[in-house]
Amino acid sequence: MKVLIVGGVAAGASTAARIRRLDEMAEILILERDQYVSFANCGLPYHIGKIIPDRNSLLLHTPESLKQKLNIEVRTQHEVIKLHPASKEVEVKDINKGSTYKESYDKLVLCPGASPIRPPIPGANTPGVFVLRNIPDMDRIISQIDKGAKRAVVIGGSYIGLEVAEGFHAKGLHTTILEMSDRLMPWLDKEMTRILHFHVNSKKVDVKLGVAAKSITSKGNMLEIQLSNGEILETDVIVMATGVRPNVELAKEAGLKIGTRGGIAVNAQMQTSDPDIFAAGDAVETPHLITGAATLSMLAGPANRQGRIAADVICGKKSSYRGTQGTSVVKAFDMSVGGSGLTEQDLQRIGMDFRKIYLHPNDHAEYFPGASPMFIKVLFEPKEGKILGAQVLGWSGVDKRIDVFAMAIRAGMTIFDLEHLELSYAPPYASAKDPVNMAGFHGSNLLRGDIHLCYSEEFPECAERVTILDVRTRPEFDHWHIPGAILIPQTELRARIDELPKGKPIYTYCRSGVRSYMAYCILKQRGFKEVFSLAGGLMTYHGYHKTPLASGSAGYPVVTHAEDILAQKPGAVDHL
């Protein structure tokens, strides 16, 4: 059996290695148009800032090592330029020689990946303007820094944009992130990105939201970017991190089926519309685990596992891809953020009914040093409570909670199931009731009708027809409170309940939603009919509304007034 693999990075290298282990006698040939094979593409941004000091550590394999270890032939700088499915051949261009030749196959695996999108603006190709997808891209950016760059602009505020900005920042460049949408990490729900924004700002990285680059011009040794808001930025280096596009040209031209999202269409066995041609990685689209809708995952995990499945099937084993759930995480300076499953904007777009909760537990026992608050949002079905998605932001333990939620989603668990999880606990790592248990308690209360939430986006501003009740402490209230709110600390509520006007709905809130839940229980059971607790408290409210919360620092988000709002201990009773 002769297997040709087009592209030798994540999916391609995984496919090749797995085929070799399953079939020692197969002829395996990787054709890679770039200079490097199987490099650590996820590590590239980190070498820019020398967070990963050694460039060689990014080169996981060479054609020689793959030959030695796995008896795989690799031809780099050999670009497959045409497929001939009828004759089971491909046309290959030897980039160095400029010549072309044909190579036959029994099975062909397309792992061409994706290409960075360079926005089609004037000056997009000016020297000093880069994308970052492979080792030569990285080398070019580093070389520009080494020429003495002092200022950098990153266009795009998602994964790569944030990581590259951190790299520039680590090298001492004054860095600006331009993001066309209204938030960093646009795939997350907006309110979950606000603290991230403050945190990035606190590192003296400028973040400009809702602005696009209109054009780029070279001015002597520097670059000028004209922005959509009329502003002009001067800089020494620009990286465009505005997304990638699946490389489907070869497949398309060969008549293979392209899916609705523009990726190569494959079945669960990673087979294209030609049964002898497989595809895996960033170029394919796969069904979403929850919705079944076609999705482009563009993530390394699915790519590697898809390559493995293609290899299994090629070698005659039963193997199926079980769908993509979009689990991801990114480090942004001292914080981490990510999620799994669907977001609120996803659910709204597809018109799927949902309920949502927010919570802000500490990542580990409050009394053990280093505890920091987390920002958790969970979305679930309104009836059975099936978990649809979760987003997590924080300083520590974020990746762990994302993975626990990812497992719950993969297993089809409900919000009620989260109440019963038995997760590992010791004071340095968690609380006896883990944040994910807390999510289960809170969401179950909601679905069982034991709490009525009001959400920040609809929280009433006018205090005339409603009572807005702050149940925090006096110092917290004095720092900042929702305009029109009255203060009765939760601990005094029973004694002072008669101060509350009868007959008006009460909207109660606290810092994180715990004390206001206790207040809710008191009010509701002591005769107040219409009571609502602010979901996620002020920590979520800050994600929607302008408040004194203006910047961020490590450990606790915040500065000035909001510092104490957030650093304020919620009262240990939160943890009961």
- Which of 158, 176, 328, 512 is in the footprint of its own copies by CB under 8 A? 328
Pick between residue 120 and residue 449 the one whose CB is nearest to its own copies.
449
Site size toward its own copies, by CB under 8 A: 106
Shortest Cβ distance from residue 199 to its own copies (Å)?
Answer: 16
Sole window of 82-90, 109-117, 491-499, 505-513 interacting with its own copies (rule: CB under 8 A): 491-499
Pick between residue 276 and residue 492 the one whose CB is nearest to its own copies.
492
Assess whether 42 carries a catalytic annotation.
yes
Q: Does 505 interact with its own copies (rule: CB under 8 A)?
A: no
- Which of 32, 34, 236, 434 is in the footprint of its own copies by CB under 8 A? 434
Phi-psi region of 341 (alpha: psi -120 to 50; beta: other; left: phi over 0): left
Q: Does 496 interact with its own copies (rule: CB under 8 A)?
A: no
- Which of 4, 28, 40, 200 is in the footprint of its own copies by CB under 8 A? 40
Task: With CA atoms as reference, report the closest residue to 371 among 71, 153, 574.
Answer: 574
Site for its own copies in 41-70 (CB under 8 A): 42-43, 46, 51-54, 57-58, 60-61, 65-66, 68-70
On whether the CB atoms of residues 153 and 235 are closer than 8 A, the answer is yes
Structure-token pair, residue 236:
């020494």
Q: CA 153 → CA 120, 166, 181, distances in Å?
A: 17, 12, 16
Q: CA 308 → CA 150, 191, 280, 294, 303, distances in Å?
A: 44, 37, 9, 20, 9
Q: Does 114 interact with its own copies (rule: CB under 8 A)?
A: no
Pick between residue 80 and residue 387 the one whose CB is nearest to its own copies.
387
Tokens 């509520």 locate to: 493
Q: Using CA atoms, how far apart are residues 527 and 502, in angstroms rounded to an integer?
A: 9
Site for its own copies in 142-171 (CB under 8 A): 159
Phi-psi region of 357 (alpha: psi -120 to 50; beta: other; left: phi over 0): beta
Shortest Cβ distance from residue 494 to its own copies (Å)?
Answer: 6
If DSSP codes are grouped into helix, strand and coil, which group holds residue 528?
coil
Sign of CA dihedral 39, 45, 48, 54: negative
Pick between residue 49 and residue 123 the one whose CB is nearest to its own copies.
49
Q: Using CA atoms, how far apart are residues 294 and 304, in angstroms rounded to an integer?
A: 18
On whether the CB atoms of residues 325 and 390 are closer than 8 A, the answer is no
Q: Give the CA radius of gyration of the chain.
A: 27
Site for its own copies in 507-536 (CB under 8 A): 517-518, 521-522, 525-526
Pick between residue 317 and residue 349 the one whose CB is nearest to its own copies.
317
Shortest Cβ distance from residue 274 to its own copies (Å)?
Answer: 25
- Which of 96, 260, 491, 560 is in the footprint of its own copies by CB under 8 A? 491
Q: Does 500 interact with its own copies (rule: CB under 8 A)?
A: no
In this structure, what is the dihedral angle of CA atoms 51, 196, 427, 399, given to the nearest 10 degrees? -60
Q: Does 308 interact with its own copies (rule: CB under 8 A)?
A: yes
Site for its own copies in 535-574 (CB under 8 A): 571-573
Pick between residue 479 and residue 524 the one whose CB is nearest to its own copies.
524
DSSP 19-80: HHHH-TT-EEEEEESSS-SS--GGGHHHHHTTSS--GGGG----HHHHHHHH--EEEETEEE
Sole window of 35-43, 200-208, 477-485, 553-561 interacting with its own copies (rule: CB under 8 A): 35-43
- Which of 354, 429, 480, 544 is in the footprint of its own copies by CB under 8 A? 429
Q: Using CA atoms, how far apart are residues 295 and 306, in angstroms rounded to an integer?
A: 14
Helices and strands: H and E segment counts in the chain? 17, 31
- Which of 139, 450, 530, 564 is in the footprint of its own copies by CB under 8 A? 450
- Which of 140, 203, 410, 561 is in the footprint of its own copies by CB under 8 A? 410
On whether the CB atoms of residues 175 and 165 are closer than 8 A, the answer is yes
Annotate each residue in 269-298 with x if it binds its own copies (CB under 8 A) or - if it does not, as one string.
--------------------x---------
Pick between residue 111 and residue 129 the one whose CB is nearest to its own copies.
111
Pick between residue 326 and residue 552 the one whose CB is nearest to its own copies.
326
- Which of 494, 529, 554, 560 is in the footprint of its own copies by CB under 8 A? 494
Site for its own copies in 190-249 (CB under 8 A): none
Q: Does 395 interact with its own copies (rule: CB under 8 A)?
A: no
Pick between residue 236 and residue 285 the one whose CB is nearest to its own copies.
285
Sign of CA dihedral 305, 308, 313, 319: negative
Q: Using CA atoms, how far apart are residues 402 and 75, in angstroms rounded to an integer?
A: 39
Catalytic entry in 42, 315, 454, 510:
42
Shortest Cβ distance from residue 521 to its own copies (Å)?
Answer: 5
- Which of 5, 6, 7, 14 is in the footprint of its own copies by CB under 8 A? 14
Phi, psi of 160 (to 5 degrees): -65, -40
Sole window of 173-181, 208-216, 260-268, 399-407 interacting with its own copies (rule: CB under 8 A): 399-407
- Which of 93, 400, 481, 511 is in the footprint of its own copies by CB under 8 A? 400
DSSP 180-217: SSSSSSTTS-GGGTHHHHHHHHHTT-EEEES--EEEEE
Site for its own copies in 346-375 (CB under 8 A): 365-369
Q: Using CA atoms, how far apart are residues 457 and 453, in angstroms rounded to an integer?
A: 12
Q: Does 490 interact with its own copies (rule: CB under 8 A)?
A: yes
Q: Using CA atoms, how far apart are residues 185 and 160, in angstroms rounded to an integer?
A: 10
- Which of 6, 92, 290, 408 is in the footprint of its own copies by CB under 8 A? 408
Structure-token pair, residue 255:
């008549």
Q: Does 427 interact with its own copies (rule: CB under 8 A)?
A: yes
On whether the CB atoms of residues 281 and 307 are closer than 8 A, the answer is yes
Active site residues: 42
